[in-house]
Structure 1
Amino acid sequence: MYIVIYRFKVKQNLDQDFIKSWKGLTDLIYKYEGSLGSRLHKEKLNYYIAYAQWPSKTVFENSGGKLPIEAIKYRDSMRLACEEIEVSNKLEVVEDLLMDKIHAEK
Structure 2
Amino acid sequence: MFIAVYEFTIKTDMAREFRDSWLLTTKGIYEEFGSIGSRLHSTKNPLIFIGYAQWPDQETWKKEKDFINPDFILARDRMRGCVESSKTIYELEVTDDYLQTDIFANTGEN
- TM-score over 0.5 (shorter chain): yes
Deviations 1:43-75 (A, max 9, x none): 121110000000111111225145433332112
User: Equivalents in 2 of 1:12, 1:89: separation in Å?
Assistant: 25
% identity of equivalent residues: 35
* CA RMSD across the alignment: 1.5
What residue in structure 1 maps to residue 9 of structure 2? 9
When the two structures are superposed, what TM-score results if normalisation uses the length of structure 1? 0.87
Counting only pairs closer than 5 Å after superposition, residues 74-93 of structure 1 correspond to structure 2 as 74-93=75-94
The farther-off stretch of 61-70 and 26-35 is 61-70
Q: Name the count of aligned residue pairs.
A: 102
User: Equivalents in 1 of 2:19, 2:8: separation in Å?
Assistant: 11
When the two structures are superposed, what TM-score results if normalisation uses the length of structure 2? 0.84
User: Equivalents in 2 of 1:76, 1:32: separation in Å?
Assistant: 16
- Checking the alignment, whether the CA contact within 8 Å between 2:67 and 2:73 is kept in structure 1 is no
User: Equivalents in 2 of 1:7, 1:35: separation in Å?
Assistant: 18
C-alpha displacement at 1:36, in angstroms? 0.4
- Checking the alignment, whether the CA contact within 8 Å between 1:40 and 1:49 is kept in structure 2 is yes
4+ residue segments displaced more than 6 Å? none
2:50 aligned with 1:49, yes or no? yes
- Checking the alignment, whether the CA contact within 8 Å between 1:28 and 1:67 is kept in structure 2 is no
Q: 1:34 to 1:63 in 2, by over 3 A?
A: farther
Structure 1 gap segments, 5+ residues each = none
